[in-house]
Copies of this chain bind each other. A is one copy, B any other.
Amino acid sequence: MATVKLLADNEMAPEARAVLDDIRKTRGTDFINNFWRALAHDPALLKRTWESIKQVMAPGALDPLTKEMLYIAVSATNGCDYCIHSHTASARAKGMSDVMLMELMAVVGMANETNRLANGLSVPVDAAFRVGED
């Protein structure tokens, strides 16, 4: 239950509706997930978030599946259940198998563990890791 109404297509401003149209066209499906219906209260935020997602998740030096897995890693670390579900679905649609998901989780778990060991003991960064830095 969202703290704002999830807007139906006919309840949002035309600028918001235009963004939904682009989401539908880009994804090739009529389905719009709840996240966008919540953001639709603020057409500028909706548009900026969608345009950024399109740009950031597009193929580049990293492929789209790797990007989806990075998204899951962050969402698992932050405990965002919505994002875990939506990006696990996206990653599966792009080819992530159960075996890949479990390996991803193993890395996420390990990183969260050693992050706290390093922080908790306040281990200083080795000079060797600073070579070439500003």
Chain A residues with a Cβ closer than 8 Å to the other chain, count = 85
Check A24 for interface membership: any CB of B closer than 8 A: no
User: Are A56's CB and B110's CB within 8 A?
Assistant: yes
Given known contacts A74-B73, A103-B61, A113-B113, A119 and B3 CB-to-CB distance under 8 angstroms:
no
User: Are B85's CB and A123's CB within 8 A?
Assistant: no
Q: List residues 76-131 of chain A with CB under 8 A from any CB of chain B.
A: 76-89, 97-126, 128-130
| Minimum C-beta distance from A79 to chain B (A) | 5
Given known contacts A62-B104, A76-B116, A85 and B122 CB-to-CB distance under 8 angstroms:
yes
User: CA–CA, A105 to B44, complex, Å?
Assistant: 12
From B74, B85, B119, give the contact of A125 (CB < 8 A).
B85
| Chain B residues, Cβ within 8 Å of A100 | 61-62
Interfacial residues, chain A to chain B (CB-CB below 8 A): 1-6, 31, 33-35, 38-39, 41-42, 44-45, 48-49, 52-53, 55-57, 60-62, 66-67, 69-89, 97-126, 128-130, 132-134
